[in-house]
Structures are given as C-alpha cells and as structure tokens.
Amino acid sequence: MRTKPEYPCSSDEVNLTTCSRSQDEDEKTKKKKTSEAIDITAAAMARHPALVLYKRALKLSLDWAVHRNLWRGQAVYIRSLFEANRHVRNPHDQRVLLQETEKLLEKWKHPDPYRAPTAPGGSKWERNLPVPVLNEPQPQHLAKVEN
C-alpha cells in the first residue's frame, strides 16, 4: 500500500510552524539567488570593457609585428598584464585601470597600421581594373578567293 508523501503544508494536516519555516526558507533562498544573479551580472558588465581593451591591445600589437611568430611573445606579455589585475573587484579601481589602459593603448598606436590589402584602406580596396578587351584573333592564313 502506498503512503502519501508528507508536505509541510498539506491540506490533510496543517502544521503552521513547519509551513511558516518552509516559506521563510523559500524567501531566503529566493533573495540569495537574486543577489547572486545581480553579482554575476555586475561582474559580467565589469568584465566586458576589459575584454574589449584586451582585444584592441592584441590588434594594436599585431600592427607592430606582422608575423605571427614574433607577435606571439607580445600577446603573452599583454595577457600577463591583464591577468595581473584580474583580482580587482572595486568598481572605482576597475575604472582607473581601464582609463590607464586606454591611455597606454593610445600611446601604443601605430602611425601606419597594417591593413589587409582588400580591406577598407588597404592597397587593393576599390581598385577597379578595366576588363581586358581582346582583339579578334587574326587568321593566320587568308584564303584566296578565285573568280
């Protein structure tokens, strides 16, 4: 014979202390989950500008060293700079670090950055070469017409 599962607030048997405790616990867990979600969202929002700056730093360093084997060492160095400040959680300190990074990237900017030839600003961008016009092939042997 199956027995009914016991719920703290079942309609058969109401125990007010158990019911109120479970509601309080539910409210606490909801508040805890909400605060955790807010913390995660705030962390993600603070992380985004750092990721944008990291990507920009990598692209700027690639302007200075076009070959990937030379660039790799610079990329590792840039990664170590960003990893060193990963633990900073204070929003004010984060803003200061982001502003300092912006200034540093402005200083690192290459005067003549590398652009792919077919990209906007590249050497082949919007180059419209005329279509070659081929003359009609001249017959090698002209047939003599006899009257």
Q: What is the mean pLDDT of each run of 10 residues along the chain (147 residues)?
A: 51 48 60 60 74 93 88 94 90 92 92 82 74 69 56
The label of the residue with tokens 């692209």 reads 59
Report pLDDT for 32: 60
Q: Is 34 exposed, middle or buried (0-12, 13-18, 19+ CB in 10 A)?
A: exposed
pTM score = 0.55
Report pLDDT for 140: 67
Q: Where are the alpha helices (DSSP H) in the chain?
A: 16-64, 68-84, 91-108
Q: Is 78 exposed, middle or buried (0-12, 13-18, 19+ CB in 10 A)?
A: middle
Q: How far is the C-alpha of 78 from the C-alpha of 37, rounded, in Å?
A: 31
